[in-house]
Amino acid sequence: MVVDALIYHPSVAHYLRFVATTVGRDKLLRTLQYFARFYAWYLLRTNGTAAQTAPWDAIKKQFGLTRKLMRVGKNREAYRFWAMGIACSVVAQVYTLYRLQQREARVDKKDGEGVVEGKRIALERAASRLQLLSDVCDLSVPTSALGWVAVDDGLVGLAGTVSSLIGVYTQWKKTA
């Protein structure tokens, strides 16, 4: 009876729907991988011992390998195209924010429909800003892997963690 209550709990059912998707599993693994990358860097910078950093390096490598197997490899050209795709997404999000600002200026907030339209614009703006933040964080990964930008491993780990958490949040909302 208690087990049934736990198994059929809405949160458990939601989690199971989330991890049933490839995107959900990848976002979770990516979050753990980038957190491990950041934390290994942090331990190294705060005079952590090799014994303290070794498990986090191993986690980073194992989750990276697991994600590569899920995607079946990744090479330099793929990083180049990924960086270009992210750059295009950044431009698209900035343009979307600009268009939303223009739309909002034309809305009459004293009118009932204007209030609804204003709320719709606010929701779209929040989603666009979240995607823009995710894209900017993601941009550090391919640009540092290609050597275009000298980014510290800890910053790449932190940016990847933030981007992954945004991805987990977005995917979580989709499976609700």
Give the pLDDT score at 7.
Answer: 61
Q: What is the pLDDT of residue 98?
A: 96
Confidence of residue 8 (pLDDT cuts 50, 70, 90): low
Provide the domain limits for residue 20.
2-174
At 61 the pLDDT is 86
Least confident of 4-18, 22-36, 123-137, 154-168: 4-18
pLDDT for res 134:
96
Question: pLDDT at position 169, please?
Answer: 92
Over residues 47-65, mean pLDDT? 87
Domain count, the chain: 1
Rounded mean pLDDT, 116-132:
93
The pTM of this model reads 0.69
pLDDT at 92 over 90: yes
DSSP the chain: -HHHHHHT-HHHHHHHHHHTSHHHHHHHHHHHHHHHHHHHHHHHHTT--HHHHHHHHHHHHHHHHHHHHHHT---HHHHHHHHHHHHHHHHHHHHHHHHHHHHHHH--TTSHHHHHHHHHHHHHHHHHHHHHHHHHHHHHHHHHHTTSS---HHHHHHHHHHHHHHHHHHHHHHT-
